[in-house]
Structure 1
Amino acid sequence: MKVAELIVGALAEHGVRQVWGVVGDALNSLTDAIRADGRIEWIGVRHEEAAAFAVSAQAQLSGTVGVCMGTVGPGSIHLLNGLYDAKKSHAPVLAICGQVPSGEIGTDFFQEVDNDILFADVSVFAHTLMSPSQLPHLLEQAVNAAYALRGVAVLTLPGDVGELDLPRHTPLPSFAPRSVPAAAPEDQLSAAVQALDTGDVTLLVGHGALGAREQVLALADILGAPMVLTLKAKEGLERDNPFQVGQSGLIGNPAAAKAMDSCDVLVVLGSDFPYRDWYPSGKTVIQLDARGEHIGRRTPVSHALVGDATATLCALVPRLTRREERSHLERATKAFREWHERQQSLLNPDHDDTLVGKVRAVFDNPSEGIRPEAVAAAVDRIAPDSTIFTADTGMSTAWLARYVAMRGTRRLVGSFNLGSMADALPMALGAQALDRDRTVVSFSGDGGLMMLLGDLRTAVSYRLPVKIIVFDNGRLGMVKLEQEQGGLPEFGTELDNPDLSAVATAMGLTSRRVTEPDRLDEAVDWAFATAGPVLLDVVTNPDEVAVPPKPTLAQGWGFAIAKSRESLESRPG
């Protein structure tokens, strides 16, 4: 058995079903082993960044290590952005990177880069396999580290080493079992029970508590506590949840902000929500997280619970006394319902014909374009309850957060920690490859889609029936909004897009362009009823304003000043 054959065979035995990348000479031994083995599907993308994003999504959705490959030098460098997404999403990913022939390492050979140094920051493990005698333990260390430390392992393989024969009786790799989650210790539990004895409580729940849905709901019920969800917690905790009041932060809503500001005790469950300005001050804060390094790094913590969310809450909830006073919860949920109803009014096709709508449209929809809120809401109505959604960073995420409900078994992935552009399409491809029969929807911004446009063809080549919804506003929308809220006129954000529907059609997808609001619902229906990969290019209003949950006077003045500057500068001389 050759080195490459052992690596491929061990990954196949472990349950890896796809490897993503771009072929190259340093990978020839590995790709040939994949061909000969037959259990792993090779998915050749048009850009290695797409491969890394795809397997990051797969790892987050499946829990099994995602595997991507890049050949020597530039091929591996192209993986970096997607690998940083996996790092910040705590996704177990194995990147196998090609290297120059072992005898040339250190000679500044053509395309040579030092992968061990290059990937040091992004990885929990980064080593070069120089000899067959380093197997199986080096492969075992890489995969074990990816799982145990929830991150990226990088195994570099010189082109000639993959072809070498293994010593006889080389054992097959044996990967370590997953660790058993444990509850926080007794002294921490006792302190938390005492702190929860009085005062109004609000929960801030993150992705780390998704596996503890039943226990989180029980905690909210016994404490009469409204539940603010991070975006990553939306997929598991939004549905059938009478306590949730939506998201905090810039994509959130006033009810969530008020629920946090008005509480006496804030309980942070499995969340590393990064925005310090959105945490309330002067509160008793209890934080539960399996990763001790997360405790207190966003806001001062009064009581720490270091342990698994499910195990800890199973031990904590039975010790608490049920609150009969529910006014804090009732105020928060009432405010959330009222905000939600106001947001829904924008979806009425006749909204801009009302008095309020006409006044607003003068400023934010003078061309009477399709409102992006309506696009998101139409997709929400029509997409199956089993849909997997991905979203580009920026306004696409804002519209999804506000108008798409994670009901049923819907899932959600995106670059929510790294915040990269261009993640939605490749993540959708990765999700679709896990199950070609499940509906997968990409909420793509026009800017993000254009970055990795070539990988539209990957959907066609590998029969991945993704539904790509493009919010085509001809803008880098979030940057435009940031500029205007800061009092700056829009600059550098306009995109001179081609007809994206025509481009997609030329690349083999079924596509349609929508420019009229009254054609939107029919077009979304058509997209979901059409077999194979579909791109729906929706030309949306570029001036839409997503009002933040806690708008400041400075933001308001900044926006007004910016719009006046834009108006003045746009007048003909």
Structure 2
Amino acid sequence: MSSPTVGDHVVSRLGQWGAKRFYGYPGDGIGGVVSAIGRAVEAGAAEFVQVRHEETAGFAATADVKFGGSPLGVAVVTSGPGAVHVLNGLYDAKLDHVPVVALLGQTATNALGTSYYQELDLVRLYADVAGEFVFQVTDPSQVQHAIDRAARTATERRTVTAVVLPSDVQDADAVLEVPEGHGFTHTSAVPGSLPGVPRPEALAEAAALLRSGKKVAILAGAGALGATAELTAVADALGAGVAKALLGKAVLDDRLDWVTGAIGLLGTRPSYDLMRRCDTLLMVGTTMPYSEYYPAPGQARAVQIDVDGTRCGLRYPTEVNLVGDARETLAALLPLLAGAEPDPSWRADIARWNHAWDAWGLERARAEANPLNPELVVRGLSDRLADDHQVAVDCGTVTSWFARDLDLRPTMTASLSGTLLSMGGGLPYALAAKQAHPDRPVLALVGDGAMQMNGLSELVTVAQRWRTWADPRFVVVVMNNSELSFVAWEARAMQAEVPFAAAMDVPDVPYAGWAELLGLAGRRVEGPDGLDAVLDAAMAADRPFVLDAVVDPNVPMIPPHVSLDQVVSTAKSQLKGDPAARAIVVEGVRETVGAAARAVRRHVHTGDDGD
């Protein structure tokens, strides 16, 4: 048997760190590592997922970790353009604090510095996205330490790291044992212990603050996932209401009376009211960035729990910061909350706000639209989700409908590009979710603009792989409105401009027809008639199913807090001759008009631009 190569050593060592799947695209710059992955696949020690574009490799490696498939994501790409293409997906991991290692091919060492084909200074290029650790290997003796350092740094600091591997080094014989002696260092592939519980004095201080609150609000984010039972017990002890950041949406059942759902620009009115009327705030695993959706400064006393102390106090002036694992910290905090005396009317108020919002949501979904109301589609999907569904979401207006209209339960998982907010991640996320858990159904919610970025090509990957899945259910819902509608609404509300058609219009593509050409299933639906039957067929299909839902671009995304500036800007855009103005008024912006009227009345009578 031939000696293991450096490529073999890289793959084996990452396996010791828990890396199960390698997402990537081959090229001569990374050929030695790809060949090694092939040998590992034959031995049953690894899995390689060939995607259609390196950007997908970055997104999918990120999503694999988010959906609980692997503790460490790995993207494998070639030198030059491959290393450039993958960057967007890696920035998604960096901004959402997901551990991912990028394996980057490079020009052979003898040609480095000669301006050779595809030679880029990758260490310099990756200095930001992999700033915690990026290293170019030039000798096989460096490999073991480089891989351990990359994996450990990515895992412990929940970030992106990168190892640059010149092509000739990849094929060299591996150095598996480092000699003893001065100048040689040794390394370990054993992860560190998990974060624990804050010191007792800090817990006591936090508990005293929380017990003093009468109207407690909790904001839970991705860091609270896995702590459902503990978060519920703490919320009950404090009589608190809970709002959720997008990446934490699955932590609590959206149907609970005291859970107000999503927060922020795409959130619910009850979440806005919860924050603006509370006297105490507990933040758990979140740094949701929209400051206007937190309590007003000085309104509430605040405690924050986060695994990373550098993120504490970042969004709101907290009095106590608890650095530790969310589940263990909440469990330690719970017995110290005995004796709390919340205002008994607080949860009753929250339930009343929720019921009113739900009724309004149903009215919005049933409002006339041309040809189909997007909220009606998403609410129909919500009613059909299985307890173990995995939901992947792209960025755009579809994110708003996901946030407001799709009820999740803690047995489900859901994710998206949360901080980078990159379009094009929906299908890569869905693919990674299915590779991570091939026995669970997947739903992908994607806008037509995003579908044309990465979705159409990655359907080829789906067609290539779906027969290997234990459960073939994989539904892609394309919200087809022939417009980049989120950007169009931003133009109206922020720039007071008529959307520029040449920039905003998206060509209508036969998405379902493309799926059928690939051997998948698909249907196009252009109105509410027959929608239920199509949704039933999609959810029960014996192969991946693409639903081309032709929806109305003029159904508005109404922020839970409509400012006077937004109202005036939207009005100005319509006065400038926005061709959608009549449709906006006719097809559902009764809600905008009502909100505008209330905002104007407040401004005229009080000088306040609203709550």
The amino acid that maps onto 2:314 is R
Gap regions ≥5 residues in structure 1: 353-364
CA positional deviation for 1:174: 4.3
The amino acid that maps onto 1:309 is A
Count of residue pairs brought into register by the alignment? 555
Does the CA contact (< 8 Å) of 1:10 and 1:173 recur in 2?
A: no
The separation in 2 between residues aligned to 1:517 and 1:471, in whole angstroms, is 14
Does the CA contact (< 8 Å) of 1:202 and 1:226 recur in 2?
A: yes
Q: 1:512 matched to which residue of 2? A: 523
Q: 1:181 matched to which residue of 2? A: 195
Q: 1:56 matched to which residue of 2? A: 62
Cα deviation digits, residues 105-152 of structure 1 (max 9, x gap)? 122211111111111111132111111111321111111111111111
The separation in 1 between residues aligned to 2:527 and 2:29, in whole angstroms, is 51
Q: 2:167 matched to which residue of 1? A: 159
Of residues 293, 313, 323, the one that matches 2:330 is 313
Q: What secondary structure sits across from 1:346 in the alignment?
A: helix
The separation in 1 between residues aligned to 2:505 and 2:575, in whole angstroms, is 18
Structure 1 9/345 Cα, relative in aligned 2: closer, same or farther at 3 Å? same
Does the CA contact (< 8 Å) of 1:148 and 1:179 recur in 2?
A: no
Q: 2:560 matched to which residue of 1? A: 549
Q: What secondary structure sits across from 1:518 in the alignment?
A: coil
Structure 1 461/229 Cα, relative in aligned 2: closer, same or farther at 3 Å? same
CA positional deviation for 1:316: 2.1
Equivalent residue runs for 1:115-126 within 5 Å: 115-123=122-130, 124-126=132-134
Q: What secondary structure sits across from 2:360 in the alignment?
A: helix
Does the CA contact (< 8 Å) of 1:139 and 1:173 recur in 2?
A: no
Q: What secondary structure sits across from 1:566 in the alignment?
A: coil
Gap regions ≥5 residues in structure 2: 180-185, 583-611
Cα deviation digits, residues 284-317 of structure 1 (max 9, x gap)? 2222212111111212222222222222222322
The separation in 1 between residues aligned to 2:248 and 2:521, in whole angstroms, is 33
The amino acid that maps onto 1:194 is A
Does the CA contact (< 8 Å) of 1:207 and 1:230 recur in 2?
A: yes
Structure 1 290/17 Cα, relative in aligned 2: closer, same or farther at 3 Å? closer
Percent identity reads: 33
CA RMSD of aligned residues (A): 2.1
Cα deviation digits, residues 403-441 of structure 1 (max 9, x gap)? 111125210010011100011011101111122231111
Structure 1 334/133 Cα, relative in aligned 2: closer, same or farther at 3 Å? same
The separation in 2 between residues aligned to 1:560 and 1:147, in whole angstroms, is 49
Deviates more, 1:248-257 or 1:182-191: 182-191
Of residues 418, 421, 428, the one that matches 2:420 is 418
Q: 1:357 matched to which residue of 2? A: none
Q: Does residue 1:302 correspond to 2:319, yes or no?
A: yes
CA positional deviation for 1:346: 3.2
Does the CA contact (< 8 Å) of 2:17 and 2:190 recur in 1?
A: no
The separation in 2 between residues aligned to 1:253 and 1:508, in whole angstroms, is 40
Q: 1:438 matched to which residue of 2? A: 440
Q: 2:601 matched to which residue of 1? A: none
Cα deviation digits, residues 470-517 of structure 1 (max 9, x gap)? 000111121111112232212221112222222333344322211121
Does the CA contact (< 8 Å) of 2:17 and 2:151 recur in 1?
A: no
Q: Does residue 1:529 correspond to 2:529, yes or no?
A: no
The amino acid that maps onto 1:312 is T
Q: 1:45 matched to which residue of 2? A: 51
Structure 1 541/443 Cα, relative in aligned 2: closer, same or farther at 3 Å? same
Q: Does residue 1:3 correspond to 2:6, yes or no?
A: yes
The separation in 1 between residues aligned to 2:176 and 2:533, in whole angstroms, is 64
Deviates more, 1:558-567 or 1:437-446: 558-567
Cα deviation digits, residues 65-93 of structure 1 (max 9, x gap)? 11111101001111100000011121111
CA positional deviation for 1:334: 1.2
Equivalent residue runs for 1:216-365 within 5 Å: 216-238=231-253, 241-281=256-296, 282=298, 283-320=300-337, 321-323=339-341, 325-348=343-366, 351-352=367-368, 365=369
Q: Does residue 1:484 correspond to 2:492, yes or no?
A: yes
Does the CA contact (< 8 Å) of 1:228 and 1:256 recur in 2?
A: yes
Structure 1 272/408 Cα, relative in aligned 2: closer, same or farther at 3 Å? closer
Of residues 514, 537, 548, the one that matches 1:503 is 514
Does the CA contact (< 8 Å) of 1:251 and 1:401 recur in 2?
A: yes
Q: 1:191 matched to which residue of 2? A: 205
The separation in 1 between residues aligned to 2:317 and 2:242, in whole angstroms, is 20
The separation in 2 between residues aligned to 1:84 and 1:173, in whole angstroms, is 28
Structure 1 240/497 Cα, relative in aligned 2: closer, same or farther at 3 Å? closer
Q: What secondary structure sits across from 1:214 in the alignment?
A: helix
Of residues 57, 76, 79, the one that matches 1:72 is 79
CA positional deviation for 1:57: 0.5
The amino acid that maps onto 1:431 is A
Structure 1 522/33 Cα, relative in aligned 2: closer, same or farther at 3 Å? same
Q: TM-score, normalised by structure 1?
A: 0.92
Structure 1 260/239 Cα, relative in aligned 2: closer, same or farther at 3 Å? closer
Does the CA contact (< 8 Å) of 1:510 and 1:532 recur in 2?
A: yes
Of residues 378, 384, 395, the one that matches 2:397 is 395
Q: What secondary structure sits across from 2:383 in the alignment?
A: helix
Q: What secondary structure sits across from 2:194 in the alignment?
A: coil
The separation in 1 between residues aligned to 2:552 and 2:438, in whole angstroms, is 33
CA positional deviation for 1:237: 1.6
The amino acid that maps onto 2:490 is E
The separation in 2 between residues aligned to 1:303 and 1:169, in whole angstroms, is 48
Q: 2:107 matched to which residue of 1? A: 100
Of residues 465, 474, 490, the one that matches 1:462 is 465
Q: TM-score, normalised by structure 2?
A: 0.87
Does the CA contact (< 8 Å) of 1:48 and 1:78 recur in 2?
A: yes
Q: What secondary structure sits across from 1:136 in the alignment?
A: helix
Does the CA contact (< 8 Å) of 1:386 and 1:408 recur in 2?
A: no
Q: What secondary structure sits across from 1:416 in the alignment?
A: coil
